Amino acid sequence: MSQETTFFEAERHAPVPLWRDIRVLRVAAQAVFVVFVVMLGAWLISNLLNALDTLGLNLGFGFMQRTSGIRVSEGPTLVRSDPYWRAYVVGVVNSVRVISIGLVLTTIVGVAAGVAQLSTNWLVRTLVNIFVEVFRNTPLLVQLFFWYFAVILKLPALEDSIELPGPTYISQRGIFIPWPEPARGFTVWLFFVVAGLVLAVVAFVVRRRRKMNTGLDSHAGLVAAVPLLGLPLLGWLAVPGRPFLVSTPEIAGYGATGGTQLTPEFAAILFGLAVYTAAFIADIVRAGIQAVPYGQIEAARAVGLSDLEVMRLVVLPQAMRVIIPPLGNQYLNLAKNSSLAIGVGYPDLYAVSNTIFNQSGQAVQVIALVMGTYLVMSLLISAFMNFINARLRIVER
């Protein structure tokens, strides 16, 4: 072995100084960054506490027990003598109402528009494409103003309202629709409904597992429909009297009685969110359908399936694996965009919270509550969509 080779071997096996050891340098850099973040956080918190102390405030939530003096026209009953926490709950309920109904409505409109984008009818395809491009490329707040000021408030007065079958009345004071009201036997009938739902779920799961194990068609949906529909019908016949009555609206002079009312503010935020999000869902559905290999469609037609059966039995089940992940993102966007309801005067979570911290001065706690509430709602939506996505994924053997 030459002298030069021996020198390099000794150099390679020599201990590396700590200030040159890459592992030590990585740990040191991370430690310095953590110390910097902790010091910055401590400085910000100290600054915040000093500012609150100067104003005579603190970080507690005791102020939520004070009388709010807030009056909210939507949602659960709220009087001015109720505390702040009650007003906050009303805001949460109003937001959940808009989000839950909006998710259902935007799914229906979005899926229908997405399928229509692939229609062979030129006029239908063109109109749907215009709808998607217009509503997808227009700011949501502008659309909310359009629905509220240019559509709803321009409708006829209540005494001259538009009457639709139902009866349903549409006017500038909102939409009046029929609404079920619980009657004497409602509680007993509700027991039959819950029992039917539980038995339907159990029957569906059992029949699906049987199909997975044997490969035979178990008609899971048909079997589950028997208790789901049969038990509520049995309860309707068995319970004395009617479980609920349908209250229909009636226009009487300058007012309305019966039914329920969708206020102009609620209708504006609901339609605005549903249509805006549906424009994005339509493109997601279109892309998911086009992602299915065309050979699958040709094979389905070759065995004699109609176009509707091809879409329902072959295309959509495969397209859902592509549709579900981005669809969940749009559901989350709808939930977070509902905070724009303040633009049309709807008392949602953000609007009520804005009033609370303006009156109480406790902006830090209220904003933290708002962020936490929206976070919980978003996580619930994400968990549900992740569950659906897990159920639809291809299981490899």
Mean pLDDT of 165-176: 85
**What torsion do the CA atoms of 363, 365, 370, 372 make, to the nearest 10 degrees?**
150
pTM: 0.81
Task: Looking at the structure, give the CATH architecture of the domain made up of residues 84-138+274-392.
Answer: Orthogonal Bundle (1.10)
Q: In the chain, what percentage of residues exceed pLDDT 90?
A: 32
Residue 252 confidence (pLDDT) above 90? no
* Reported confidence tier of residue 395, pLDDT bands at 50, 70, 90: low
Query: Based on the number of CB atoms within 10 Å of its own CB, is 84 exposed (0-12), middle (13-18) or buried (19 or more)?
Result: buried
C-alpha–C-alpha distance, residues 244 and 145, integer Å:
38
Q: Residue 288: which of 254, 311, 261 has the closest Cα?
A: 311
pLDDT of residue 248: 85
Helices (H) and strands (E) in the chain, counts: 13, 8
pLDDT tens digit sequence for 179-196: 888 877 788 888 888 888
Query: Is residue 1 predicted with pLDDT exceeding 60?
Result: no
**Residue 260: enclosing H or E segment and its boundaries?**
strand 260-262
- Per the CB < 8 A criterion, the answer to whether 227 and 192 are in contact is no
Q: Which residues contact 117 (CB under 8 A, 6 or more apart)?
A: 125, 128, 129, 132, 282, 283, 285, 286
CB 146 within 8 A of CB 216: no
User: In which band, very low, low, confident or very high, does the pLDDT at 100 lie, cut at 50, 70 and 90?
Assistant: very high
pLDDT tens, position by position, 311-359 = 878 888 888 888 998 999 999 999 999 999 988 989 999 999 999 988 8
What band does 300 get if pLDDT is binned at 50, 70 and 90? confident
pLDDT of the residue at 12:
56
Query: How much is the pLDDT for 13?
Result: 57
Residues of the chain with pLDDT > 70, as a percent, come to 93
Burial 303-339 (b: 16+ CB within 10 A, else e): eebeeeebbeebbbebbbebbbebbbebbbbbbebbb
Confidence grade of residue 171 (pLDDT, cut at 50, 70, 90): confident
Residue 361: exposed, middle, or buried by beta-carbon count in 10 A (0-12, 13-18, 19+)? middle
Average pLDDT estimate for 96-124: 91
Task: Considering only residues 165 and 266, tell me which one the structure prediction assigns the higher pLDDT.
Answer: 266
